[in-house]
Amino acid sequence: MKIIIAHASAGTGHLKAAEALHHSFKESYPGVDVRLVDALDFSSAPFRFIYRSGYSILVKYAPWLWSLIFRLTGIKAILRLAKGVNLGIDLLNIRDFSEFLIRENPDAIVSTHFTPPEIAAYLKKNSKIKSLLISVITDFGVHPFWLADGTDIYIAASEFSRNALMALGVKEGNIRVFGIPVDSKFLEEYDREALCRKLGIERERFTVLIATGSFGIGPIEEIVELLHQDAQLLVVCANNKSLYLKLKSRGYNGVRVFGFIDNIQELMSASDILIGKPGGLTISEGLVMNLYQIFIAAIPGQESENTKALEAEGAGVYINDTACIKKLVLDLRDNPQKLGAIKKNIARIRRPRAAGEICDVVCQGSIRASH
């Protein structure tokens, strides 16, 4: 059996989900021929640069424009034209990816970004390939760009996501609510006491993890200033070196400051709640680690949709006022029964086995197209 796991490296979430799937396939089905590919690697250098950098530039410097694009392309009257133009651009600039799929003609294509299934569905429609096509949606909200006629199965993050897909016209039989796949390191059990010793923090203090996301944005300085006397803080600045240096220089007692790290699962396991951006992968990782999440600095579009989904489930909340964030944190610190009740909601929607369930469905041949 030959499987292609495809993504497009615009943002880190799509890659992380694809890597989690690739690892799960390799671990659970070592005899399967599985390859992890970035569709953009088949494009020209200028197109690759524009595709990868354009999103980052928009969300950092012109989020209003990104929000406008996101909303306009979701309008039915505009969607058909937008998807047609987008497909034409992709077929022209990523044509080597099309040729790669035709040449390999895999049994299954599993994608964690909307571009590869768009191209694969076009090839299926024109009888160039016969692959099963599985789209793993890496957000809790669903933009219509994820829909491609010829997709056999959509993997949804939650019931909220399933309902969004059905509202867009996807048949219920073509949807599996498995969740967003996360790295296996988030599935391990950690000794909190040992982790606290390793991180140099107190085991019994209420601990808040503050993560800025890969772009390192949000009112982090203000939140740290408001909370550092009332809770133990773990602050991950990611690629924001300026923020890292500022916070380190202040020497707050009970505040540990980190740059770019690869052990976020340990910090999550040592924390009571998470304050961060509502990216799909971050949310899923937090849910798997049983963390209540307070969302900040949501990117208009997919991240604002993610906050709606988690608020609807009672597993997260978006707050854009730092004073209100402090009030909620202190309330949860002083009333552990409230946090306990919230964690029952988290237990209901967390999907730690997402990667394994997707692999099982593909490799055991239980997918049945229901078009």
Q: Provide mean pLDDT across the span 189-193.
A: 93
The 10s digit of each residue's pLDDT in 216-265 is 568 999 999 999 999 999 999 988 899 999 999 999 999 999 998 999 99
If residue 45 lies in a helix (H) or strand (E), which one and from where to where? helix 45-61
C-alpha 256: how far from chain center:
25
Q: Provide mean pLDDT across the span 190-207.
A: 94
Give the whole-number percent of the chain exceeding pLDDT 70: 97
pTM: 0.92
Question: pLDDT at position 333, please?
Answer: 97
The 10s digit of each residue's pLDDT in 115-157 is 999 999 999 999 999 999 999 999 999 999 999 999 999 999 9
Question: pLDDT at position 27, please?
Answer: 95
DSSP string, 99-164: HHHHHH--SEEEESSSHHHHHHHHHHHTTS---EEEEE--SSS--GGG--TT--EEEESSHHHHHH
Task: Sort strands 207-211 and 232-236 into parallel, antiparallel or unpaired.
Answer: parallel
Q: Provide mean pLDDT across the span 71-90.
A: 92
Query: What are the chain's domains?
Result: 2-182+352-363 (3.40.50.2000), 190-349 (3.40.50.2000)
Question: pLDDT at position 367, please?
Answer: 41
